[in-house]
Every structure is written in C-alpha cells, then in structure tokens.
Amino acid sequence: MKEFQSLRSIRNLIIDMDGVLYRGKEAIPGAGPFLEFLRRQGIGFVLATNNSTKTPAQYVEKLAGMGVIVQADEILTSAQATASYLSRTAPPGTRLFVVGMDGLWTALREAGFDLVEEAAEYVVVGMDFTVCYDRLARAALQIRAGARFIGTNPDRTFPSEQGIVPGNGALLAFLEAATGIEPIVIGKPEVAMMEQAMVRLGAEPATTAVLGDRLETDVLAGRRAGLFTILVLSGVTDRAMLAGADLQPDWVFEDVGHLHRVWHEVIEPEVATDGRADCTVRSDLSTTH
C-alpha cells in the first residue's frame, strides 16, 4: 500500500454525486459506509454536483431514500454556484429566462432574480429531463435578441439506471448550434465550485482531494484548483476512456466501496480488510503535490 500513503494527508474531500454515490435512483454499493468512514476519521466533505435539477433539500431526501444520510449544508449544486455567480454580476431583479428544474429555479429565486418568459437579460440553462422543443426555441430567440447565455454545467452525458443519456451539455450544444453564441459555463471544470466548496470546508489545496467519475469535469476542475484527484469507474468514465486520455487522475478506483477499503487499510492497516485489487496510481504522484 506504499503508493497510497498520501491518502493519509487528505483532510477534506469534494465529492461528485451522479456516478459516484448513485446512478439514477440506485445507490452505488458502499456509498453510505464510505461517508460514515469519512465522518469517523474527521475528514470533511462537500457533495459538489454539476446536476442542477434538485435543491439541496431534495438531494438530502433522495439520498436518505437510498440509506445515505447527509445534511443540506453538505451539498453544493451547480444551480447554487450559478446563482452565486449571477449575484456578483447582475443586480437583484434582473430578468432571467430559465431552462431547468426545481434546483435551478429555487436557487435563482432565492437570489432575488425575476424569472420571466420574455424580454430576458439572461438565459440560464440547466438540465431539464422534461424539456420540449418550444422552450428551447424560446431560449434561442432570446439569446439571439441579446440575452446573455449562461449554462450551469457542461456535462454532455448523464449516468442513469438505463445507461448513459444526454446531459446538460447536450442542451447547451443545441442552443449554441441554433444561435452561434457560446455559453458562459459555471460548473465543473471551472474552479468556482471548487473554491466555494473549499470555503465551506475551511480547506487548503494541499490537504484536499476531489472525487468524481468524469475526467473532463471532476478531474480537470481538481487539477485546475491544485487539488489531489480521485477517479471512480462507477459512472461515465471506463478503463478504455481512461487509457486514451491525456488527463490522468492521481488515483483510480472501481467505486467508493473500493476506495473505502484501500483508505481504511492505509489508516488502520492492522484491522482493515484487503483493498489492494485493481488500484491505479499516477506514476508521477510524488512530484505533483
């Protein structure tokens, strides 16, 4: 376990949810015990998701239904990050046209914005599993009329119980193709969410890691923020994708249950079970942090 000893230095963890703790409505085996392990070890964590569809309270309820217990203040969504960004760039009462679900609408309302159907100053687009052509067409028309185009996150795909389905990045690509306007994207891999999560945790980069299932968002965001990066293969990225990628994480595990076993063995080797199977570590880890 020598190559994993650096896990001892991790005191804070920024954790993605979709593909890491669950897929759709199904918890990934070991998700609950992994969070319990972090609490026992005094390792702080924030669940930072690019998924803007739900409010933190709705995520708490969803996770509880899977036997995973968290608090609302342990969750940071791209909807919240987007509302925070807009609060710094536009005054309360600014007119927004929204494509999205409860999580995004609630975050923007709570930030004091006026959510309208026409003459918007901004078009804000988050994932919407019920979106129709008419709403996308209205978004495109308002972008063409001069509204600034904001995307909560760039994830082109989404891990569901049925498999990999279109994500918010696909909606952004649709609108970009229809308008010729590139969106300003707020969520991972931009560092804003990493910075907001670290403020919540009171964390420093040298002792913080990001845990996710995507190279192009989770791992890239962590790398840009100067954090350790941990990839699990329970979501979007598989070994073939990883092998062909230029960007590589510090560590790779099959899922959070696998990470839990290895981390436990590093911390308490005399009582831990064997967690050595099929782990990957970057060869240049010792020189990257």
Is the pLDDT at 3 greater than 90, yes or no? no
Catalytic residue selected from 18, 213, 218, 250: 18
Predicted confidence band at 273 (pLDDT cuts at 50, 70, 90)? very low
Which one, of 132, 144, 139, lies nearest residue 117 by Cα? 139
Q: Which tokens is 282 given?
A: 């970057």
Tell me how far apart the alpha carbons of residues 156 and 164 are, in angstroms, rounded to a whole number.
10
Residue 218 among the catalytic residues:
no
Position 1 scores a pLDDT of 60
Residues 262/275, Cβ–Cβ less than 8 Å: yes
* 3-state SS assignment for residue 269: coil
Tell me how far apart the alpha carbons of residues 274 and 36 are, in angstroms, rounded to a whole number.
19
Residues 23/161, Cβ–Cβ less than 8 Å: yes
Predicted confidence band at 250 (pLDDT cuts at 50, 70, 90)? very high
Position 285 scores a pLDDT of 45
Catalytic residue selected from 16, 128, 250, 255: 16
How would you write 34-91 as a 3-class SS string? Answer: HHHHHHHCCCEEEEEECCCCCCHHHHHHHHHHCCCCCCHHHEEEHHHHHHHHHHHHCC
C-alpha dihedral (262, 264, 268, 271), degrees to nearest 10: -90
Residue with tokens 């498999």, as numbered in its chain: 163
Residue with tokens 């959510």, as numbered in its chain: 115
Is the pLDDT at 274 greater than 60, yes or no? no
Q: Quick one: 39 exposed, middle or buried, by C-beta within 10 A (0-12, 13-18, 19+)?
A: exposed
Tell me how far apart the alpha carbons of residues 229 and 209 are, in angstroms, rounded to a whole number.
5
Tell me how far apart the alpha carbons of residues 43 and 30 are, in angstroms, rounded to a whole number.
17
Tell me how far apart the alpha carbons of residues 225 and 221 are, in angstroms, rounded to a whole number.
6
Is the pLDDT at 272 greater than 90, yes or no? no
Average pLDDT, the chain: 92
- Predicted TM-score (pTM) of the model is 0.86
Mean pLDDT in residue range 190-200? 92
Residues 219/186, Cβ–Cβ less than 8 Å: no
Tell me how far apart the alpha carbons of residues 151 and 210 are, in angstroms, rounded to a whole number.
22
Position 2 scores a pLDDT of 65
Kindly give, in sequence order, each residue whose CB lies less than 8 Å from that of residue 30, ignoring residues fewer than 6 positions away. 255, 256, 257, 258, 260
All domains of the chain in start order, with CATH:
2-50+189-287 (3.40.50.1000), 79-185 (3.40.50.1000)
Mean pLDDT in residue range 129-133? 96
Is the pLDDT at 280 greater than 90, yes or no? no
H runs (alpha helix) in the chain? 31-40, 56-65, 78-89, 102-110, 133-144, 168-179, 192-201, 220-224, 239-243, 256-267
Is the pLDDT at 271 greater than 70, yes or no? no
Which one, of 122, 53, 51, 117, lies nearest residue 86 by Cα? 122
Residue 18 among the catalytic residues:
yes
Kindly give, in sequence order, each residue whose CB lies less than 8 Å from that of residue 196, ignoring residues fewer than 6 positions away. 48, 76, 80, 81, 84
